[in-house]
Amino acid sequence: MVMQTGQPIFISLETERLILRRLNDSDLMTFLAYLNDPLVARYQTWESYTEQQAMEVIAQQKNLAPGQPGKWFTFAVALKEKQALIGHIALSVKESDEQQAEVGFTFAREYQGQGLAREAAVCVLDYSFNILKLHRVIALTDVENQRSVGLLNRLGMRREGHFIKNIWFKGKWGSEYLYAILAEEWIAKRAI
C-alpha cells in the first residue's frame, strides 16, 4: 500500500497463502467460470453472468478505491503459489454512514472448505478496521447457506438478526441472517 496525499492507495494485501489484489483483465475467464457455477451462485443474487457483464465488473474495479462510500470494492483473491484467481471478497462502505460497511465473499467451488475464504476475510477485516478505520462491518447470508454461516461464526461475527422471508430470491421468499462485528471486538480478538 502506498500513501498519496494522505490517502492510502490500494495495491495488494498478503496472507500466508494468498494475495488480495485488484481484478484484472487476465482474470476474466476464471472469474466468469466461478460466477456461472450453479453451486457457487446458489446463494448469490445472480443466476449467471455473461462475458460482457464480467468484463464490465473488472473494468469498473480498475479505478475504484476500497472504502469509497456507496461502492462495492472487489478484492480478487489469488493463491500465492500459482497467482491464480480463486475467488473474491467484496466490501461496501455505506453511503449514508462512512464508518460502517458490508462484506461478502464468493469462492470457486474447488477452493471451498480449505480455510482460504476465512484467511482472505480476516485480511479484509484487518484492512477495514486498521486502515479504513471503520467502526462496524456487517454480513448478510441466506439461512440455508451453512458454509457462509460457519465462516461468519469462525470469524467471530455476532448474529444480530434473523429476517424471516424478507427477500424475494430466485422465485421464492428467502430468509437471511445478519452478522456484525465492531472494530473494538475485532481488534480484541486479533490481539489474543
pLDDT in tens, 57-68: 999 999 899 999
- Residue 7 confidence (pLDDT) above 70: no
Q: Which residue has the higher pLDDT, 73 or 5?
A: 73
Q: Which CATH class is domain 2-191?
A: alpha beta
164 Cβ contact list (under 8 Å, min separation 6): 175
Report the C-alpha gap between 70 and 192 in whole angstroms.
Answer: 33
Report the pLDDT value the prediction gives residue 37, as an integer from 0 to 100: 97
What is the rounded average pLDDT for all residues in the chain? 94
The beta strand positions in 27-127, using DSSP E, are: 72-79, 85-93, 100-107
Report the pLDDT value the prediction gives residue 187, as an integer from 0 to 100: 96
- Residue 3 confidence (pLDDT) above 50: no
Report the C-alpha gap between 67 and 90 in whole angstroms.
Answer: 11
Report the pLDDT value the prediction gives residue 8, as an integer from 0 to 100: 65
Instruction: For residue 86, give the nearest of 30, 32, 129, 134 by alpha carbon.
Output: 30
Domain coordinates of the chain in residue numbers? 2-191
CB 91 within 8 A of CB 70: no
Instruction: For residue 152, give the nearest of 125, 126, 114 by alpha carbon.
Output: 125
